[in-house]
Amino acid sequence: MSPGRLFEMMTRLAGILRVLEDAGIRVETGDDFARYRVYRSQQSDRGPIYPMFDVASSYIDRTNGFWICGFNADDELIHTQAVRLLDLSVGSLGDHLNSHRHKYITPDTTPDPDLTFYSGPEALRTIHGKVCYHGDFWLRAGGLGGPRSQGVTSLLSRILLEIMVSAWKPSFVFALVPKQLAAKGAHLRYGYCHCEPGRWLGPDQQVTEEDYLIWMSEKDMVNLVARSPQSNRRDERFPVVRSNKNTSDAETELNARANA
């Protein structure tokens, strides 16, 4: 990353962190997934950590993952999300989900995980290469005045996406969200521009769960980080960072890789 782009990212993130601090949220990032497992295991009101981010089930460390947690003024955990880098240079996302479905299926949603498969989205066949999985996103509700009502979902997601793009420059990023959240436009709040219906089919072709696939391509991610962060807070103030070049560094890097 060029010094100019690094400064722009730091300025954007500083603005986001300032808004989150004003909302009473302290953000912590890390790549020690043993520590993340400890944080998650202390949440009695949530299901267990998914295997993709559990060091007891998967190999994940600073080379292929990182997490973000948010804490309130009482140092209580009120937010989690994590990302994992996948090498899909051979095979598609559809192939990956078929081979590793046990790590994505919600526990106790199907009578036989061995015979349950994800299907539906066209993108399952086209997403490949260096791919990131964005998951375990959770934000405590807390009613009126809680973090959700303050419009910080998009800002928290933006932090992860900014770091992810800068660190790994993936070809695609994807997440799976329940149908009811997708219907409410969850993918837009998370910053994603593509959303496709999907479902898990059990051994008798019954629908065991409906998860929508949300995703972005490399170009989509470049466009995302080029835009000023947004939330639905009316009083937010983000610094405006402008480049003195006709073409942004992000666009130049994307074009260079496309023509390589």
What pLDDT does 142 receive? 66
**CB of 53 closer than 8 Å to CB of 81:** no
Structure token digits, residue 62: 């600073």
Per-domain boundaries in the chain: 3-226
pTM of the model: 0.86
Nearest alpha carbon to residue 70 among 37, 34, 39, 42: 39
What pLDDT does 147 receive? 59
Between helices 218-226 and 249-258, what is the axis angle to 10°? 170
Q: Per residue of the chain (260 residues), what is the pLDDT tens digit?
A: 778 888 888 899 999 999 999 999 999 999 999 999 999 999 988 988 999 999 999 999 999 999 999 999 999 999 999 999 999 999 999 999 999 999 999 989 999 999 999 999 999 999 999 999 999 999 998 644 455 656 799 999 999 999 999 999 999 999 999 999 999 999 999 999 999 999 999 999 999 999 999 999 999 999 999 998 875 544 444 544 444 444 333 333 333 333 33
Backbone CA torsion sign across 176, 177, 182, 184: negative
What pLDDT does 257 receive? 35
CATH architecture classification, 3-226: 3-Layer(aba) Sandwich (3.40)
Structure token digits, residue 122: 């066209």
What pLDDT does 146 receive? 54
Give the whole-angstrom CA distance, residue 210 versus residue 178: 6
Neighbours of 70 (CB within 10 A): 24
**CB of 156 closer than 8 Å to CB of 70:** yes
What pLDDT does 231 receive? 59
Nearest alpha carbon to residue 125 among 248, 211, 218, 213: 213
What pLDDT does 1 receive? 72
Q: What count of Cα atoms within 13 Å lies in the side-chain half-sphere of residue 235?
A: 6
Structure token digits, residue 10: 């730091």
